Chain A
Amino acid sequence: GENVEQHPSTLSVQEGDSAVIKCTYSDSASNYFPWYKQELGKRPQLIIDIRSNVGEKKDQRIAVTLNKTAKHFSLHITETQPEDSAVYFCAASIPNAGNMLTFGGGTRLMVKP
């Protein structure tokens, strides 16, 4: 089955700096890669996703890149703010297999004011 690895497990940045979180996946059949943000005690919230037919997607301060050949994808947050502090999860899913998500282990991002 699919296996998703996520790095780093914790990331501390200064407000205004950029943050990058990286994930690798094992199954080349995966074609959908969402990112979720989870604040303490809250539900995971979808913040951005990318499908395998594109290499990059951007939404304001957040961008995701995908390298299908290398089977890795990354989340980029620019101009970080304290409210970006949370745990971020990457995931991958395989079409025609229910689209159930296989999650990475999570990255705790701390943005210091």
Chain B
Amino acid sequence: GAGVSQSPSNKVTEKGKDVELRCDPISGHTALYWYRQSLGQGLEFLIYFQGNSAPDKSGLPSDRFSAERTGGSVSTLTIQRTQQEDSAVYLCASSSGQPSYEQYFGPGTRLTVT
């Protein structure tokens, strides 16, 4: 079946502008995660959604970052007033939830803030 998809694949924006990144999880997966990968670095957890529960926002680096998940499926990560340090690859992953822990990643969105 279809895997996790993300759009856009690349986004170049000017410092101070807002951006929206989209994630379509695997159909039926109840858990959705956003991670950030800076150049040559590991992955950093940002936010987690499970079903209709309140999201776990503990990894968001600042209040400029927010995310929502509509209808328990598609998710949008929004970064307001972008800064150059926001430049990274933003990866989304989904999981069917317990007892399966496996997370499957999307191709990512490469964000460049100029």
Contact = CB atoms under 8 A, between A and B. Distances in A.
Contacts, number: 56
Q: Chain A interface mostly helix, strand, loop or mixed?
A: strand
A100 interface: yes
B43 interface: yes
Interface in A10-56: 32, 34, 36, 42-46, 49, 51
Given A43-B107, A89-B43, A105-B42, A100 B56 contact: yes
A49 B102 contact: yes
A93 interface: yes
A99 B95 contact: yes
Interface string A59-94: 000000000000000000000000000000101010
B56 A44 contact: no
Interface residues of A, number: 24
Given A100-B33, A100-B56, A100-B59, A34 B42 contact: no
Given A43-B91, A43-B108, A44-B91, A102 B45 contact: yes
Q: Which 5 residue pairs spanning A and B have beta carbons closest together? A: A103-B42, A43-B105, A103-B43, A98-B48, A32-B101
